[in-house]
A and B are shown apart, each in its own frame.
Chain A
Amino acid sequence: MSETVLLRATDVVKNFTLRSKQSGSRIIVQAVAGVSLEVRRGETLGIVGESGCGKSTLARCLVQLMPVTSGHVEFNGVEITGLSRRQLRPHRRQMQLVFQDPYSSLNPRRRVGDIVAEPLRINKYGDDEVVQTRVDELLRIVGLDPASVNRYPHEFSGGQRQRIGIARALALNPSLVVADEPVSALDVSVQAQVLNLMADLQSELSLTYLFIAHDLGVVRHVSDRVGVMYLGEIVELGDAETLYERPLHPYTEALLSVVPELDDGTHPVRERIVLTGDVPNPSDKPSGCPFHPRCPVAQDRCTTEKPVLVELAPGRSVACHFPRNVA
Chain B
Amino acid sequence: MGLFIVRRFVAAVLVMFAISVLVFLIFFATPGVDPAARIAGRSATPQILAQVRHAFGLDRPLPIRYLLMMDHLFIKQDLSSYVNIGDRVVPQILNAAPVTLSLIFGAAVIWLLVGIAGGVVAAANRGKIIDPIITFLGIGAISVPAYWLGEVVLYFTQSKLHSSVFSWAPGSGYVPLTQNPGEWALHLLFPWLTLASLYAGIYARVLRAELVNALNEDYVRTARAKGLSERRILMRHALRCSLITVVTLFGLDVGALVGGAALLTEVVFGLPGVGLLTFNALENLDLPVIMGAVLYGAFFVVLANAVVDIAYAFLDPRVRLV
Real binding pair = yes
What's the nearest-Cβ distance from chain A to residue B314, in Å? 16
Which residues 1-37 of B sit at the A interface, judged by CB distance below 8 A?
3-4
What's the nearest-Cβ distance from chain A to residue B2, in Å? 11
Check: A267 CB closer than 8 A to any chain B CB: no
Q: Which residue of A lies closest to B319 (CB)?
A: A21
Which residues 59-76 of A sit at the B interface, judged by CB distance below 8 A?
none
Give the chain B neighbours of A22 by CB distance below 8 A. 3-4, 321
Give the chain B neighbours of A21 by CB distance below 8 A. 321-322
Q: Mark A9-25, 1 if CB is under 8 A from B, else 0.
A: 00000000000011000
What's the nearest-Cβ distance from chain A to residue B14, in Å? 16
What's the nearest-Cβ distance from chain B to residue A29, in Å? 16
What's the nearest-Cβ distance from chain B to residue A284, in Å? 15
Complex CA–CA separation, A21 to B3 (angstroms):
10
Interface bracket on A = under 10
Give the chain A neighbours of B321 by CB distance below 8 A. 21-22
Complex CA–CA separation, A186 to B235 (angstroms):
38
Complex CA–CA separation, A58 to B322 (angstroms):
27
Complex CA–CA separation, A21 to B8 (angstroms):
12
What's the nearest-Cβ distance from chain B to residue A52, in Å? 18
Complex CA–CA separation, A290 to B300 (angstroms):
52
Q: Mark B281-322, 1 if CB is under 8 A from A, else 0.
A: 000000000000000000000000000000000000000011
Which residues 11-44 of A sit at the B interface, judged by CB distance below 8 A?
21-22
Q: Mark A289-308, 1 if CB is under 8 A from B, else 0.
A: 00000000000000000000
Q: Mark A64-98, 1 if CB is under 8 A from B, else 0.
A: 00000000000000000000000000000000000
Complex CA–CA separation, A22 to B322 (angstroms):
6
Q: Which residue of A lies closest to B320 (CB)?
A: A22
Give the chain A neighbours of B3 by CB distance below 8 A. 22
Complex CA–CA separation, A21 to B321 (angstroms):
7
Q: Which residue of B lies closest to A23 (CB)?
A: B3
Give the chain A neighbours of B4 by CB distance below 8 A. 22
What's the nearest-Cβ distance from chain A to residue B267, in Å? 44
Q: Which residue of A lies closest to B321 (CB)?
A: A22
What's the nearest-Cβ distance from chain B to residue A19, in Å? 10
Complex CA–CA separation, A22 to B6 (angstroms):
12
Complex CA–CA separation, A21 to B4 (angstroms):
9
Q: Which residue of A lies closest to B322 (CB)?
A: A21
What's the nearest-Cβ distance from chain B to residue A259, in Å? 27
What's the nearest-Cβ distance from chain A to residue B4, in Å? 8
What's the nearest-Cβ distance from chain B to residue A179, in Å? 30
Complex CA–CA separation, A167 to B4 (angstroms):
50
Complex CA–CA separation, A22 to B321 (angstroms):
6
What's the nearest-Cβ distance from chain A to residue B6, in Å? 12
Which residues 182-230 of A sit at the B interface, judged by CB distance below 8 A?
none
What's the nearest-Cβ distance from chain A to residue B196, in Å? 37
What's the nearest-Cβ distance from chain B to residue A20, in Å? 9
Which residues 121-136 of A sit at the B interface, judged by CB distance below 8 A?
none
Which residues 49-106 of B sit at the A interface, judged by CB distance below 8 A?
none
What's the nearest-Cβ distance from chain A to residue B34, in Å? 47
Q: Which residue of B lies closest to A21 (CB)?
A: B322
Complex CA–CA separation, A47 to B321 (angstroms):
33
Give the chain A neighbours of B322 by CB distance below 8 A. 21
What's the nearest-Cβ distance from chain B to residue A225, in Å? 40
What's the nearest-Cβ distance from chain B to residue A21, in Å? 5
Complex CA–CA separation, A239 to B322 (angstroms):
44
Complex CA–CA separation, A18 to B103 (angstroms):
46
Q: Which residue of B lies closest to A22 (CB)?
A: B321
Complex CA–CA separation, A55 to B231 (angstroms):
46
What's the nearest-Cβ distance from chain B to residue A212, in Å? 28
Q: Which residue of A lies closest to B1 (CB)?
A: A22
What's the nearest-Cβ distance from chain A to residue B73, in Å? 34
What's the nearest-Cβ distance from chain A to residue B1, in Å? 9
Complex CA–CA separation, A5 to B3 (angstroms):
54
Complex CA–CA separation, A253 to B284 (angstroms):
84
Complex CA–CA separation, A22 to B3 (angstroms):
8
What's the nearest-Cβ distance from chain A to residue B11, in Å? 13
Complex CA–CA separation, A136 to B301 (angstroms):
59
Complex CA–CA separation, A22 to B1 (angstroms):
8
Which residues 100-156 of B sit at the A interface, judged by CB distance below 8 A?
none
Complex CA–CA separation, A116 to B321 (angstroms):
43
What's the nearest-Cβ distance from chain A to residue B10, in Å? 12
What's the nearest-Cβ distance from chain A to residue B18, in Å? 21
Complex CA–CA separation, A299 to B214 (angstroms):
49
Complex CA–CA separation, A21 to B322 (angstroms):
5
What's the nearest-Cβ distance from chain A to residue B8, in Å? 12
Q: Which residue of A lies closest to B7 (CB)?
A: A24
What's the nearest-Cβ distance from chain B to residue A237, in Å? 37
What's the nearest-Cβ distance from chain B to residue A324, in Å? 39
5 tightest A-B CB contacts, nearest first: A21-B322, A22-B321, A22-B3, A21-B321, A22-B4
A-B contact pairs, 5 of them (CB 8 A): A21-B321, A21-B322, A22-B3, A22-B4, A22-B321
